[in-house]
């Protein structure tokens, strides 16, 4: 019988949920400042939106989604990524 405590083993492959917006932006190597400039927001606004602290207006949500060729629903859904 194996006497190794499973709690003492490191967990690999941890995942966390983030807005698809963040995943898509990073996949394109786009900074928050660049996205903000393209849609008429501040970098701080994009940061807050990605953190779930702030919600964009519907018009801004459409503008953001358009940058990635996605729908608003797709852009603001949560996906799992490696942490």
- Is the pLDDT reported for residue 30 higher than 70? yes
The architecture of the domain spanning 15-82 is Orthogonal Bundle (1.10)
Domain ranges of the chain: 15-82
Q: What is the pTM of this model?
A: 0.79
* Mean residue pLDDT across the chain: 87
Tell me the pLDDT tens digit for each residue of 8-25: 334 446 888 899 999 999
Give the span between the Cα atoms of 75 and 21, in whole angstroms: 5
CA-to-CA separations, 1 to 5, 10, 11, 36, in angstroms, rounded: 12, 20, 21, 57
């Amino acid at each position: 019988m194996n006497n190794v405590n499973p709690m003492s083993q490191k967990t690999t492959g941890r995942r966390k949920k983030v807005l698809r917006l963040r995943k898509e932006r990073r996949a394109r190597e786009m900074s928050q400042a660049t996205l903000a400039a393209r849609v008429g927001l501040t970098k701080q606004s994009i940061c807050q939106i990605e953190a779930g602290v702030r919600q964009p207006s519907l018009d801004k949500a459409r503008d953001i989604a358009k940058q990635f060729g996605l729908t608003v629903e797709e852009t603001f859904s949560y996906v799992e990524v490696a942490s």
